A and B are shown apart, each in its own frame.
Chain A
């Protein structure tokens, strides 16, 4: 059995030995993206498991071990991990927990610390916690991901984005229920078998895979009138995680709407770009700036290829990061970087510009950055785009689904009303034209 080793600050390390014996558990946020990531880490010789649990005890464990005024995602993520460790499914002495760490000015940078505090409180202080970050924080002798893995991770993110964003355009219209999700599984298997065979890791083969993915979705038979499109933006965990947003996408589908959920790529580029912006605004080393520019350039190149593939296949494609950067001018400065920062407002603008003015802006109750970039910008958006139809929904352990759904229904009723008005106006205009002709 692996010995417990600590560093000089007293942090429990994940050792080489643990790599052999331990199962690494991590919480879900984006099931497709994270699922791919899990399989990639597995090929590096780790035992990993993405938690897909979704039941009441997760919230209860969170309430028990995390300060209740802390944001809801912290409560859920920590609750989910502790619930899993205590579930009896694993030997608590043979598991480690993996959690991402960003390091910004938002409370979210504290998740890993709150998790450690919670473990102590739960009497599980012997469970090592691994930080997954891009800032070089917290090294662990037994957990090292090389540059190759990093590249695979970028690929997994790109694949995840193109899969999710394309599938969202097919699912509401599929003739055979369940076929879209079936296709996703087939694609995942294909991608992973390629990766484990060491193939598909060049830019060229990624582009080829994009086309393969698009073709697979195009092959799904669809039917029906276009549905009301509803954009989903917000705090990143709540926006994506079905556990966090009470299955929001499922609800929108059941209400006859087509959910439009902007991808993860922009967020990653945003986080890289922030470092560059810091140097621009406050000063700093140009080397740091240069390194960020190189990494950002690579991800942007991938993004452009993804957009091209979607367009070629006849799907609606998102804008580039650069497009978003242009849209935000006059709203927020680029220095607004905590949490989702200016990106959240830019995403709302992009949705409005691309014909999806109906938007659900999700956030944990009391989310600090979203006071500014979410709720704080809706007024101005409404002034500038009177037909924009945005509803802000708060999520927390006490907020009930019925309240949330009722508010979303109001937004949907409004959306349909606006669509009807628009149609009548157009019809009227046409009639007028006919009269004049």
Chain B
């Protein structure tokens, strides 16, 4: 038998392996290919040519990026999971499962019985590339990240679904002073959770587990997280010596099944196959020639504020600080907006230190000539910086950006800001901010995305961006989220696209993402006549050009695009007209000290991750809280209908008016039970069952049921149900009642009265996927509550069959149940009325939270209601208002009961000057793709603002705060205009 060669071409690395006849490893390599996969592989083979030339060999390629290479070079290909399984079978035969993480893939292979293999879906980023991105975000190398993680003290919950989510979780933690060590370990934990949750899909990970792939080979911290999470001992957690190139070894093993050929021939084919590639999907170049580019830069460079020399200027100055998500920006200005000093730098995860250092420098340069008369802060880290340095004021970013944009273009009617992490767009109407659009958690692939990519390909961001300017055939990479773009780039690399074309393609895709995904514009006129662009990302000429080309019109980019937030804050500080700023003096800074300690607040079920910042002189600032209780103050208890409803529903357990002799009936407290529980509680207690509710939702309960979730893209409210039913089984109930309901109650305000497919049929999914349910009588029949008589007959039949209950008895219970439900609905409406009256008596604005009934679950809304009321609002829910309007035709098919309520509530809000709508949208909710546009339409036509809060398993309160405060600022602006 001849030598066998396996080549594993992954998304970021190439592994080459040579095996001899006895399956002994003769050669192995693991190298990054920087998108030149084929060349790298050929080079490696060339390096061992002296040993192999003239020999007959068997060669097989494997790996996610290997398919194209194998095809063009006419070399046999084996799917990589299959190859890995072959290697494990050979070397570690009694393995129960393999966990393999690669650059962009995560896989689990189950052995024992038939081989079962799982790969991450298209929406799963918990992989090597994700870790790379996170390291970049924290400004450390991956190795440093690993070292940091080993020194952690606590783990923060970080969204593990995809990198974009995780970023928006990590950023606030860093900005609020969380320890880097803890964040590093939390990132690894997110990867572990993602792998376990996303890939096991109901099959338990146990026995002997082999860990493979680059990240698990090199990162000890990641290993530790896996071992701890899966509770493995050293005999059951195997990290093979060549774990980073097992797929390559497997490919070599698989090569036994393929033909022999001369090594030199194969190598030759591999080297020559370069010419056979063609690009599939390309776009016109950004610039045709140098002259176009020069005209372009000349036009944009004309937009600059006057520069004043800080070393000679004498007089007053104002300071603006923009403590952004990844960068800290500062501007010191004169009364007419002249720039004395600017600063723009990555905050390295510690904005306080950066500002401290800069302040010292500024004071030194100012000497006695310049007096700072005001300082204002904006951005994610606003509160922290404001408290740390006693700044005069804080303002929400949207307002800061408008102030700055108006300085350059008083007629501005549209502003778009693309920063490292977030994108903000808003219109200006009648001199006030209007129609704010922030990127949803899913499309945050903003500036830092290009940066990460540039680094991965071995370039600095500036060089990488320049490469794209004159690319002849920019690659079309689509306009979805980061994770998808990663694989689009992979595809382009496979097709042989040059780095230039990829660079240009990335810039264009960022623009498309902004225009079509965030702004949702059909054409340039949708935006405005006078567009000002800002944010660090627009310093990238390729992005700016792509934006102009996409819109077909010129826009204004001030030369200080990157520090517009800080500039705006400085203008704001100037307009405060203070005699003297409260900001810490040069003298104060000498004794300045800052320590941050993470802790968890246990005062309520929200369990906020708090960071306690302590400054010199005992000054303290607590961040991460939703209410004022951890600050030692009483919680502000403004009327909140979400809280009222929740308490009322939670009380519905026990024996009620019956005696409970028929046993314990378990009801999972989730999804439509938030609507129908008053009905079922009365129904079952009248039949003398004791109603047992599943525990209140919590992260712990979610994790309990996580291992049986078959579809990781379903909404969080549905995912929670797995934990709920398992908890009911643990409680030893006699039966669980969770009926399927295609239809909900018909309230006469829609074209139909369906439930969404997930709400309607989740009971059947649970029956098929939760093994624990086999231990209990699980009842998930189809019922239709809206036909009272038919329902009565059918349920009586069912109760007789299942529990031998006489039909007459059931019929009486049905009657009582309908009455109880009606009473509940009436009570909610009356209480809503009372709250509104309260608000009007006390001159408080009212927020109408439009969502589904289950959005009142604190684990689902993450305490957003507390946050809203803490800003001085009274909060009511959509179902307290929807009955006040009748049926009206909509531009979409209005066919879901819960969704119809939102339309009606919004229509009612349009008639009330003191009400605004906030829509709660669960990530992954398909029906809300339809309702959001329609709701926005209703509200904007009615002269109202539209605010949407997207929620998932992890909360990003920072983003929620910005939206709520932007809403408040816009409301104030409107009021002052009137």
A interface, CB within 8 angstroms of B: 9, 56, 63-65, 67-71, 103-107, 109-110, 112-114, 116-117, 121-122, 281-284, 331-333, 335-339, 365-373, 375-380, 382, 386-387, 392, 394, 396-403, 405-407, 409-410, 412-414, 417-418
Contact = CB atoms under 8 A, between A and B. Distances in A.
Given A282-B794, A336-B742, 9 more contacts: A70-B929, A104-B754, A282-B782, A283-B787, A333-B781, A366-B926, A372-B758, A397-B478, A406-B64
Nearest to B937: A117
A372 B765 contact: yes
Contacts of A283: 784, 787, 789-791, 793-794
20 contacts: A63-B512, A68-B479, A113-B892, A114-B930, A333-B782, A336-B742, A336-B761, A336-B764, A371-B711, A371-B714, A371-B758, A376-B768, A379-B203, A379-B710, A402-B490, A406-B80, A409-B67, A409-B79, A414-B115, A417-B115
A376 B740 CA distance: 15
Contacts of B926: 69-71, 107, 366-368
Interface in B29-71: 64-65, 67-68
B782 A67 contact: no
Contacts of B478: 397-398
Contacts of B113: 386
Contacts of B920: none
Given A63-B516, A365-B123, A379-B202, A113 B924 contact: no
A105 B742 contact: yes
A399 B484 contact: yes
Contacts of B479: 63, 68, 397-398
A368 B756 contact: yes
Instruction: Identify the interface centre among B65, B201, B710, B933: most chain A CB within 10 Å of its CB.
Output: B710
A121 to B, nearest CB: 5
A105 B892 contact: no
A268 to B, nearest CB: 20
Interface residue tally on B, bucketed by range: 35 or more
Contacts of A396: 122, 480
Contacts of A69: 926, 928-929
Nearest to B522: A121
Interface in B670-705: none
Contacts, number: 221
B292 to A, nearest CB: 24
B930 A375 contact: no
Given A105-B755, A371-B758, A117 B933 contact: yes
Instruction: Identify the interface centre among A9, A121, A387: most chain B CB within 10 Å of its CB.
Output: A121
Contacts of B491: 400-402
- Ranked nearest first, the 9 interchain pairs of A and B with the lowest CB-CB distance are A283-B790, A398-B480, A398-B484, A282-B784, A105-B754, A335-B782, A69-B929, A376-B765, A380-B768
B618 interface: no
B895 interface: yes
Contacts of A114: 892, 930
Contacts of A371: 710-711, 713-714, 718, 757-758, 765
Nearest to B521: A64
Interface in B338-396: none
Interface of B: 64-65, 67-68, 78-82, 113-117, 119, 121-123, 201-203, 281, 476, 478-481, 484-485, 487-488, 490-491, 494, 512, 516-517, 520, 522, 710-711, 713-714, 718, 740, 742-743, 752, 754-758, 760-762, 764-765, 768-769, 780-782, 784, 787, 789-791, 793-794, 889, 891-893, 895-896, 924, 926-930, 932-933
Contacts of A284: 787, 790
Contacts of B82: 410, 413-414, 417
A94 to B, nearest CB: 23
B764 A333 contact: yes
Nearest to A120: B891
A72 B473 CA distance: 27
A382 B116 contact: yes
Instruction: Identify the interface centre among B512, B516, B929: most chain A CB within 10 Å of its CB.
Output: B929
A398 to B, nearest CB: 3
Instruction: Identify the interface centre among A105, A117, A369, A375: most chain B CB within 10 Å of its CB.
Output: A105
Instruction: Identify the interface centre among A336, A372, A382, A406: most chain B CB within 10 Å of its CB.
Output: A372
A68 B742 contact: no
A171 B490 CA distance: 33
B360 to A, nearest CB: 46
A371 B740 CA distance: 15
B769 A398 contact: no
